[in-house]
Amino acid sequence: MSLDKKTAFITTPIYYVNSSPHIGSALTTVTCDIITRYWKRLGKPTLFLTGTDENATKVIEAATRAGEDPKRFVDGLAAEFQRTWRLLHIEYDDFIRTTEPRHIAAVHEVFNRLRSSGDVVKGLYEGWYCVADETFFRDSDVAEDHCCPNPECGKPLRRIQEESWFFRLSAYADRLKQYILDHPNFLQPEFRRNEVLAFIDQGLRDMSITRSSTGWGIQVPDEPDKVIYVWFDALVNYLVGAGWPDHPERFAEIWPADIHLMGKEIFVRFHATLWPAMLMALGMELPDIIYAHGWWTIGGEKGGKSKGNLPHPGDLAARIAELSGADYEISVDALRYLLIREMQFGLDAEYSETAFLQRFNSDLANDLGNLLNRSVSMAGRYLNGMVPPPQPAPDGYDHLLNNAVTEAGDALGAIQMNTAMEAAFRLVSRCNKYIDERQPWRQAREGDDQAVRETLYTCFETLRVVAMMVQPVMPVAAQRIISSIGLDLNPAEVPWQSVGKWGQCPEKPLPSPIPLFPRIPANLLNRTTENIQESQTTNMSDMPEPSTQPLPAVSVAPFPSNSTITIEDFAKLELRVADVIDCKPVPNTSKLLHLRVKLGEEERDILSGIAETYTADELIGKQVIIIANLQPRKMRGIESQGMILAADMNGQAIILVPETRVPSGSPVR
């Protein structure tokens, strides 16, 4: 953040209102909301600006196709964007529309200033124009088919010859390049910065910034036959949102922007080249960071409005609610998490509803939801429904929490959303493993009440810290977690810097546990024949004691008489207890985990189709029961030397574990 101004300023691009929002625009807007919530937790005043771009040629064409008056058309879609962002728990501070008087006046002011300074000059434009991309192309850019050279567009271009006003972009090429070289964090990620430098090196040409009027758009001052080119018009919204030109004191507190965030398609040519050159021409400071994230792809190709293959975020949240049984507000938070967790920021990511739902189960239901449910349930069972009084932190555990909070904060500050959540969910996995190591059910059975208090207090402290860490991403879920562990506070008001301090859960009565993220049944996760064949689990009928999550009814088929075996047949099975010493996902499959297990002095590799229920990290250190004399089978190029035993709970594989820890390799009888 800039140190010489009081307010942190973050922006989304303004979105074309030629169709409804989808999860691509939602990704950008949710990310800005997350960063804003984090800044507020740091105690920084913030301004979060978003809005709609309404003056484009494609907008009036969409209105014509819909048979609507353009103004009525854009009014309806702008309202839908606002409704959608509120639905997604997005708390923007200002929503700007480019048809507003304040924006039109500012565009006129920019045009007049640059015309007076000689940075905007009149000339004759002849060349190719893409309506879909709102972009001009020189002849050398266009192939013989006269289609848009953007591979994500490819639509026919229009040949235009008309009198136009030009912005002298070429005059700022050297200065812009030097600024980029002198400010390595200005354009991010780095490989996008390199694309911009290469674009500048190709030679910047002056840009036509007006076109003949079609009756829609911002009129050129004193020339009613021309309108301002939509990209020259749209970029000015950032200045308007900061208070320029009518509120200079406010503008001085807010400008320059700390972060402009957008998809990569509008980064190189417009936000990273045209916009900073315009600001240089106006004598204004450049933004601190201009960041381009990747696209959601489907089959390796960009998904989006034109193809209609990315879902409306409201529809996807409703789908999650329908399949899981979670209430809608929690499903919205889950969607926010899934959007930033499935996207490696800066790169493209393949969109798959199945992948979203599987991560819902693995991260939110099986990990975080299960940790909350089992902790509250065990406190009800062993501690009379109370959070125990503060207990000392296990050796090094307080440092673990503090380090995770620091890592997540650093990642949020660096716009690495998925890295921030990885830090939080490592704590979740560690705490679930801690429960399995400590076995509070055994401690209670042995009458060691102090050990139970220490174990469960660690769980509640972990849940408190995790809730505070995920609050920018899942604000409603974070509040539910905090309330579920007996705390009466608003996570949004807790300073980020104080989150990792140990001992902030007071002795309090607990409410009854309610599943926060109910698990989606496996038969609803688009299981394929290949997925089923990859499974190496054995169906059993028991559940390990550590899981206290409410269990759904399990349908049991009648036992066919011809499926019985003799005791001699059973005696052929060699069942043993094994320690999981390493575990990792199997590449290119969402079902299989590759476990390295130890049986006494022997080590083996086993593939097991339990990745829908467990993450690799949480299995390390567990004890499992395996069939040790099963004939080895090669899958995915790995020889599996045994089979993990697991219960089948409505399609979910729940591994069987010994009630107490036993020596590795112990026989099961």
DSSP letters, 142-210, are --TT-B-S-TTT-PBPEEEEEEEEEE-GGGGHHHHHHHHHH-TTSEESHHHHHHHHHHHHT----EE-E
- Domain 528-655 CATH (choose: 2.40.50.140, 3.40.50.2300, 3.90.1150.10, 2.30.110.10): 2.40.50.140
Contact (CB, 8 A) for 612 and 524: no
* Contacts with 154 (C-beta within 8 Å, 6 or more apart), sequence order: 147, 148
Which amino acid, one-letter code, is at 661?
R
For 642: left if phi > 0, alpha if psi spans -120 to 50, otherwise beta; the answer is: left
Query: What is the CATH code for 8-302?
Result: 3.40.50.620
The model's confidence at residue 36, banded by pLDDT at 50, 70 and 90, is very high
Residue 42, pLDDT score: 96
Nearest by Cα to 459 from 480, 483, 478, 485? 485
649 pLDDT band (50/70/90 cuts)? low
Which of these ranges, 215-224, 340-349, 449-458, 561-570, has the smallest mean pLDDT?
A: 561-570
Q: Is the dihedral of CA 382, 386, 392, 398 positive or negative?
A: positive
121 φ, ψ (degrees, to nearest 5): -130, 155
Tens-place pLDDT, residues 166-212: 999 999 999 999 999 999 999 999 999 999 999 999 999 999 999 88
Residue 526 pLDDT grade (very low, low, confident, very high; cuts 50, 70, 90): low
Q: Which amino acid is at 128?
A: W
Choice between 548 and 382, residue whose per-residue pLDDT is larger: 382
Instruction: Express the helix, strand and coil content of the chain in percent, nearest 5 each.
Output: 45, 20, 35
Q: How far apart are CA 145 and CA 157, in angstroms?
A: 9
Which tokens go with 248?
Answer: 């200079």
- Whether the Cβ atoms of residue 90 and residue 30 lie closer than 8 Å to each other: yes
What angle (nearest 5°) sits at the alpha carbon of residue 192, between those of residues 186 and 196? 80
Distance CA(59)–CA(19), nearest Å, equals 9
Q: Which two tokens stand for residue 121?
A: 């000059």
Comparison of pLDDT for 331 and 573, the residue scoring more: 331
Q: Convert the pLDDT of each residue in 73-96 to its tens digit.
A: 999 999 999 999 999 999 999 999
**In contact, 515 and 549? CB cutoff 8 Å:** yes
Of the candidates 400, 402, 469, 407, which has an alpha carbon nearest to the alpha carbon of residue 431?
A: 400
Read off the pLDDT band of 528 (50, 70, 90): very low
What average pLDDT is seen over the chain?
A: 89
Q: How far apart are CA 393 and CA 314, in angstroms?
A: 42
Domain segments of the chain as ranges? 8-302, 361-509, 528-655
Instruction: Report the C-alpha gap between 307 and 132 in whole angstroms.
Output: 13
Among 248-262, 301-315, 519-533, 559-573, top mean pLDDT goes to 248-262
Higher pLDDT, 589 or 48: 48
Closest CA to 638 of 596, 599, 601, 598: 596
Query: pLDDT at residue 50 above 70?
Result: yes
**Contacts with 301 (C-beta within 8 Å, 6 or more apart), sequence order:** 152, 307
Residue 477 reports pLDDT greater than 80: yes
Instruction: Tokens for 529, please give them.
Output: 């024949």
Per-residue confidence band for 478, with pLDDT thresholds at 50, 70 and 90: very high
- Dist CA 378 CA 371 (whole Å): 11
SS3 state at 237: helix
> Please, are residues 579 and 602 in contact by the beta-carbon 8 Å criterion?
no
- pLDDT tens-digit profile of 120-150? 999 988 778 887 776 778 777 888 888 998 8
Rounded average pLDDT over 374-382 = 94
At 63 the pLDDT is: 87
Evaluate if residue 531 carries a pLDDT over 50.
no
pLDDT exceeds cutoff 70 at 152: no
CATH of region 361-509 = 1.10.730.10
Q: Residue 568's pLDDT is what?
A: 75
Cis peptide bond N-terminal to 256, omega within 30? yes
Cβ-based neighbour number of residue 126 at 10 Å: 11
**Hey, how many other C-beta atoms are within 10 angstroms of the C-beta on 34?**
26
Average pLDDT over residues 508-535: 69
* Residue that is written with structure tokens 């390390």 in the block: 620
The answer to whether 405 and 331 are in contact (CB under 8 A) is: no
Has this prediction a pTM greater than 0.85? Answer: no
* Share above pLDDT 70 across residues of the chain, in percent, rounded to a whole number: 92
- State residue 619's pLDDT score: 83
**At 625, phi and psi to the nearest 5?**
-110, 130
